[in-house]
Amino acid sequence: MKEKDSIFAAPIERLGDFCFDHQVADVFPDMIKRSVPGYSNIISAIGMMTARFARPDTQLYDLGCSLGAATQEMRRNLNQPGCRIVAVDNSAAMIERARNHLAAFRSEVAVELQEADICAINIENASVVVLNFTLQFIAPDQREALLKKIYDGLNPGGVLILSEKFISEDDTINELLIDLHHDFKRANGYSELEISQKRTALENVLRPDSPGLHKKRLKKIGFAHVDMWFQCFNFGSMVAVK
């Protein structure tokens, strides 16, 4: 059942850190669509890039898969034999619902759902790796090691699609993009209270980097080609080719 996100609608006395529990998993499709500008365009493009970059007999990874929206789009666009999609999330609530969601579609493509920390899994023989709004939740000091592991597990010519919330290095532009994001949320029916309570709940858990830092880090790790392919306000998606 598709439910509306009203998690932050009433005043919460002891507002804790945002986490991906049952309450969030139940409303996640509505929450992410109303919160992330460009989300559905990014999901479609993940399918298009899968069709271009997948190679026969390789693995495709969806890291921080939530309910499997990107996984399903990758599966639908996969046009190579002998491939397997590995979809990983460390939230039991998300994995449980992803299993039901993915079972609703008929497909020949093998999908392995793993409830695990993406910092602790093996990545090998990969042609496509997706981090769709997940790296921002990883502790900043673990990000480079995770990206290096992804780089090492990708075959030459393989692709990483990295979507994130960003901060701008220009303070004035940063404020403008945050304001525009809040306008986007208002236009999608979120109240001032919902916007401010969610902002506080995310403060300690979603730590965005600038596009410049992302690019520098990906280049340092060894990716041959790195650029932004989509941005709307302070949300966007980068592509990195090994």
Ligand X SMILES: O=C(O)C(=O)C[C@]1(C(=O)O)C=C[C@@H](O)C=C1
As given in the structure block, the two tokens for residue 85 are 């999609």
93-96: long-range pairs with CB below 8 Å, 24+ = 93/20, 93/21, 93/22, 93/24, 93/25, 94/20, 94/25, 94/28, 94/65, 94/66, 94/67, 96/25
Q: Is 233 helix (H, G, I), strand (E, B) or coil?
A: coil
Question: Does 65 belong to an annotated binding site?
Answer: yes
From the list ligand X, ligand SAM, none, which binds 69 (C-beta under 5 to 8 Å, kind-based)? ligand SAM
Question: Does 118 belong to an annotated binding site?
Answer: yes
Q: Is 167 in the site for ligand X (CB under 6 A)?
A: no
Q: Is 198 in the site for ligand X (CB under 6 A)?
A: yes
From the list ligand SAM, ligand X, none, which binds 89 (C-beta under 5 to 8 Å, kind-based)? ligand SAM
Taking the mean position of all CA atoms in its chain, how far away is CA 130? 7
Q: Is 88 in the site for ligand SAM (CB under 6 A)?
A: yes
H/E element, 165: strand 154-165
Q: Is 90 in the site for ligand SAM (CB under 6 A)?
A: yes
Measured distance CA(217)–CA(113) in Å, rounded: 29
Find the shortest distance in angstroms from Cβ 69 to ligand X: 12
Q: Is 72 in the site for ligand SAM (CB under 6 A)?
A: no
**Site residues (CB under 6 A) for ligand SAM, limited to 103-142:** 117-119, 132-134, 137-138
Q: Which of 85, 111, 116, 83 is nearest to 99 (CA)?
A: 111
Residue 230's DSSP bridge partners are: 237
Q: Which of 35, 59, 91, 237 binds ligand X (CB under 6 A)?
A: 35
Q: Is 89 in the site for ligand SAM (CB under 6 A)?
A: yes
As given in the structure block, the two tokens for residue 22 are 């049952």
As given in the structure block, the two tokens for residue 187 are 């236009």
Residue nearer to ligand X on the CB measure, 127 or 237? 237
Residue numbers of the site for ligand SAM (CB under 6 A)? Answer: 20, 32, 64-66, 69-70, 88-91, 94, 117-119, 132-134, 137-138
Residue numbers of the site for ligand X (CB under 6 A)? Answer: 31-32, 35-36, 133, 165, 198, 202, 206
Residue ranges for the binding site for S-adenosyl-L-methionine? 39, 64-66, 89-90, 117-118, 132, 199
